Structure 1
Amino acid sequence: MLTHPSDPRRVLVERSDLDPISLPPELSRYEIHLRATFDWGRAYLTNPHPDLGRPGSVCPFASASLTRDRFFLAVQPGSPTDPLEPVETLRFFRDWFLDLAPRSQPSAQITSIMVLFPDVPQHAAESLVDGVQALLKPEYVKQGLMIGEFHNGPPAKGGLWNEDFRPLRSPVPMLALRHMVPTDYPFLRDDPEQVRVYLELFGDQVPAQLRDQVERERVVGAP
């Protein structure tokens, strides 16, 4: 378990904190949600799926993230009624993430923080999680980060390789923080400012399957 150096109330849970259980009292009642998320990561994210539309695991980085203890969980208690309520919490974890995994660090790409909202009822999870993600995505992207929305709604976004597949379905409502990677272009293409950030980071690393699309849209969007 990692404790924030300036705010001991903020902790990041690792898989080893559950066997044997070494959670602080305020997190003990969320043990089932923490276990469910780690199990989902191991059983779902690290494996192929018949509806994914491409070979390989659902998340290419999840296996290394879990194996090397770079898959961190945080719990946000309570059930916010407005997406604005958790915004400062997510900014806090964004800043902590950047301290934990600066892009220059070898393990940066496999590091993630999943901020769980276990008290949010299923009927409210979609509007809350999607709302927070929409509010924060522009400022996250400016710092080369992605914030992903996960819940059992399921999320409206289809997969990159199969629009009918909903890869962001999860057992616990959560928001995931990670570094942007070259394959993220389709998540950014509708916003010129986000495309600009992407090209600054990956202009010479665009994956082969995306190069024609990126170049075509750059030409169309040029003044």
Structure 2
Amino acid sequence: MLIHPTRPAHPLVEPADFAADRLPGPVAAHEEALRAVHRWSREYLCEPHPDLGRRGDVCPYTGTSLQKNVFFLSVHPGRPTDPAELADLLLHYRDWFAELEPTSGPAAQFKTILVLFPDLGGDGGFDVVDRTQEMLKVEYADHGLMLGEFHPGPPDKEGLWNPRFRPLSSPVALLGMRHMVPTDFPFVRGDDVTLAVYLRLFGERVPTHLRREVQAAADRLATSGS
């Protein structure tokens, strides 16, 4: 478990912590939620799904993040209703994310932080997670980060390869951040602002199988801005 030097009340649980019979004392009260999300990460995100619409794991990123021990979870109790409240909270994690080791090398691009909100429930309680992600996605993209929303609702976003599939369903409401990577183009192509950030970061490093689509998107963006 990692403790922030100035905000010890919000520790990060590491993958190795889940090998113990009990999680460390500071997060023991939230053991059920933390273990549920850790199990979901391994058994859902790291596995194929018949409704996904493509081959491979639901999230190609998570397995390596777990293996490299850079997949971190944190918990916040309570039922926030204002996206601004969650935005202020996530600022701490965004800044800590940049400082967390490794900050360079192959493993650095796989760092992930999931912030859990186990007290949020249905009847509109998950809406604050969706609204927070929508409010912050451009700001986080500008820092080279992807911010994703997950909850049992599930979120309304359709699967990229199967519109009937809702891939962002999770057992506990959470917001997750990770580095934007060159293969993220399908997630940003529908939003011109985040697309512009993607082109700035990866314009020269686009995967071969995406080059034609990315060039078409770049041309469209250039034309619309002229």
Identity %: 50
Q: For residue 130 of structure 1, give the secondary structure of its aligned residue in structure 2.
A: helix
Which stretches in structure 1 are left out of the alignment for 5+ residues? none
Deviation at 1:148, TM superposition (A): 0.2
Letter in 2 for 1:24: G
* Alignment correspondent of 1:169: 169
* Alignment correspondent of 2:215: 215
Q: How does 1:67-86 map to 2 (within 5 A)?
A: 67-86=67-86
- Could you report, residue by residue, the CA deviation over 1:142-201 in whole angstroms, capped at 9, with x for unpaired residues? 010000000111111112222221111100000011000112223222333322211121
Letter in 2 for 1:62: T
Deviation at 1:15, TM superposition (A): 3.3
Greater Cα offset, 183-192 or 3-12: 183-192
Letter in 1 for 2:157: K
Quick one: structure 1 residues 103 and 22, their matched pair in 2 at CA, closer, same or farther if it must change by over 3 Å?
closer
Greater Cα offset, 38-47 or 153-162: 153-162
* Alignment correspondent of 2:39: 39
Q: How does 1:11-26 map to 2 (within 5 A)?
A: 11-18=11-18, 19-25=20-26
Q: How does 1:105-120 map to 2 (within 5 A)?
A: 105-120=105-120
Q: For residue 149 of structure 2, give the secondary structure of its aligned residue in structure 1.
A: strand
Deviation at 1:102, TM superposition (A): 6.5
Distance 2:209 2:173 in 1: 31
Residues paired across the two proteins, number: 222
C-alpha contact (below 8 Å) 1:182/1:205 kept by paired residues: yes
- Could you report, residue by residue, the CA deviation over 1:13-58 in whole angstroms, capped at 9, with x for unpaired residues? 1233341324225x32211000100100111111111111111111
Distance 1:122 1:108 in 2: 35
C-alpha contact (below 8 Å) 2:120/2:126 kept by paired residues: no
Distance 2:206 2:129 in 1: 29
Distance 1:126 1:43 in 2: 23
Distance 1:138 1:101 in 2: 25
Deviation at 1:206, TM superposition (A): 2.0
Q: How does 1:68-147 map to 2 (within 5 A)?
A: 68-100=68-100, 104-147=104-147
Runs of 4+ in 1 over 4 A off after TM superposition: none
* Alignment correspondent of 1:152: 152
Distance 1:160 1:36 in 2: 25
RMSD over equivalenced CA pairs, Å: 1.7
